[in-house]
Structure 1
Amino acid sequence: MKLNGNEIRPGNVILHKDSLWVAVKVQSVKPGKGGAFAQVELKDIVSGTKLNERFRAAETVERVQLEQKEYQFLYAQGDDLVFMDMESYEQLELQADFVGDRVAFLQDGMMVEVESYEGKPLGVKLPQFVTLEVKETEPVVKGQTAANSFKPAILENGIKVMVPPFVGEGEKIVVDTTEVTYSKRAD
């Protein structure tokens, strides 16, 4: 789908210089002299490199639609992660790099969204919230009632998060996977 240079929005994926780029920031500029243009910060989907580019309103770029499909995480095998398509039962092996530092949040049977372009996987999107057990934390100190006091806790997957004083060892909490922060106690 063709887009004019001034129609690019943050989150759009475009084909530029024979690579796939996602628009991170877009700023419309109307100089006193000359035509208006969009100053766009692009990030290469595959390598992660960034690029600042100017697109005039008359220029066109190719907008790309990524295919998104749900897969179930099965297991990790060395540096590879194995997922299964729940419709065709085909297995997909991806490098742990696709998930990045959030790989510790993957749990057996977890449903994830795999983004791909022309059949080539580009990334894995985890659920925003995951329930995990607190394995290690400091005991509650009586009289510690400061409103914003938090204490460190180590979760079952080895990740450290800050939790409120009332959370103890063995309790299950909900963690935000994008921010890697405590969200609430699990029900």
Structure 2
Amino acid sequence: MPKISGNEIRRGNIIEHNGGLWVAVKTDHVKPGKGGAFAQVELKNLRNGSKLNERFRSADKVERVRLEQKDQQFLYETDGMFTFMDTESFEQIELPADLLGEARPFLQDGMTVTIEYYGEEALNVTLPEKVTCTIAETEPVVKGQTAANSYKPAVLDNGVRVMVPPFVGEGEAIVVNTETFEYVERA
């Protein structure tokens, strides 16, 4: 694995630090009036989710880890475990549902997701950026209320609450961003 200096750590980089695998959530480069510059890095543990704030000087060397990414298809859920199938080798893998975090309701049958592996260990599941959902309930469409840049609350078929434009009604299919949980467009 390549070693990088402490000031080369960027947001999204995965490093090996203190015997664990950490992802850089936020980095700030600080140049104090006295002393040398350093990178203030907020790290999140990929295995247990704990957070850590660490200072890295340019002289500090850290191991940068590259994860292998595989596209896999979601099959079914059983007792809090998701079953995915490799689309090339047709091997199946079971992963805990909490790997998806808040994006869990957007997982749909047959959806292709990206799973990141460190060796044989699955560390992260990433959903497609945009998912099509149906609006289960929202306020009715009011004529003439489209001039202002206003949004109204809506509940999707998967139970997630989002804000939608006033012209969108119940039963309509919309596209939702799975990272920000925001309305993108009509489907």
TM-score of the two chains, using structure 1 as the length reference: 0.92
Structure 2 counterpart of 1:57:
58
* DSSP-derived class of the 2:110 partner: coil
Q: Which residue of 2 aligns with 1:85?
A: 86
**Residues 10-159 of structure 1: pairs in structure 2 closer than 5 A:** 10-159=11-160
Whichever residue aligns with residue 128 of structure 1, its letter is E
Over the residues paired in the alignment, what is the CA RMSD in angstroms? Answer: 1.5
Q: Structure 2: which 5+ runs fail to align? A: none
Per-residue deviation, 1:146? 4.3
> What amino acid is aligned across from residue 29 of structure 2 in structure 1?
S
CA distance in 2, matches of 1:29, 1:138: 49
Cα separation, 1, equivalents of 2:157 and 2:182:
15
1:170–1:58 distance in 2 versus 1, CA, 3 Å: same
CA 1:148–1:18 in 2, change beyond 3 Å: closer, same or farther?
same
Give the drift of 1:27: 2.3
Offset at residue 182 of structure 1 (A): 1.1
Q: 1:91 to 1:66 in 2, by over 3 A?
A: same
**SS of residue paired to 1:153:** strand
Q: Secondary structure at the match of 1:9?
A: coil
Percent of aligned pairs with the same residue?
Answer: 63
Task: State the distance in 2 between where 1:8 and 1:145 align.
Answer: 45
Does residue 1:175 correspond to 2:150, yes or no? no
CA distance in 2, matches of 1:130, 1:137: 19
Q: Which amino acid aligns with 2:185?
A: K
1:90-141: CA deviations, max 9, x gaps? Answer: 1111111001121110111111000111110111000011111112222122
Q: Secondary structure at the match of 1:103?
A: helix
How many residue pairs get aligned? The number is 186
Post-superposition shift, 1:31? Answer: 3.3
Q: How far is 1:23 from its partner?
A: 1.4
Counterpart position of 1:161: 162
Q: 1:53 to 1:169 in 2, by over 3 A?
A: same
Q: Which runs of 5+ in 1 are unaligned?
A: none
